[in-house]
Amino acid sequence: MTYHYDPTNIFARILRGEIPNKTVLETPHSLAFHDINPAAPVHVLVIPKGAYVTFDHFAAEASAEELVDFHRACAQVCAMVGVAPGDGSTGKGYRAITNAGAHGMQEVPHYHLHILGGRAMGPLVLK
Ligand code: AMP
């Protein structure tokens, strides 16, 4: 599978420091920041620093180090923003979503995981 990454996308520009972001967490291989147009009281985007277009691209081609770093960053973000529903946490849960390609209605072609919470999220998708 060949993936084409467009380095002019807005998240690539955020990673290069060309435009600002409201950072929640930065790790060696990942960045988490608040969505500019939040769809819920909590809406954080977690992105890898590497040039990956979609979830499947990242899952197929990222190094083990990048994969672990990204998922640990997601876990840290869930805890930091108070949505993790695990033992001992007051968090009430969250929804993690990633959109890919045209049918996924992906707007920004740099892989990102939306972490949404702070209210009940409703049905999974429109039918
Ligand atoms: P998607 O449709 O899954 O590609 O989602 C793209 C998300 O990026 C949307 O929720 C946008 O609100 C968000 N977004 C776009 N530009 C920025 C930005 N400069 N800073 C933070 N979030 C952004």
pTM of the model: 0.97
- Residue 42's pLDDT band, with cuts at 50, 70 and 90, is very high
58-72 tens-digit pLDDT: 999 999 999 999 999
> Ligand 1 atom closest to Cα of 43?
10
- Take residue 114 and report the two structure tokens written for it: 């939306």
And the tokens for 113?
């995981």
Mutation pick for ligand 1 pocket among 16, 21, 45 (CB with most ligand atoms within 8 Å):
45
Tell me which architecture the domain covering 10-117 has in CATH: 2-Layer Sandwich (3.30)
112 is catalytic: yes
Whether 9 lines ligand 1, by a CB cut-off of 6 Å, is no
Report whether residue 99 contacts ligand 1, using a CB cutoff of 6 Å: yes
What are the residue ranges spanned by the domains of the chain? Answer: 10-117
d(CA 66, CA 12): 17
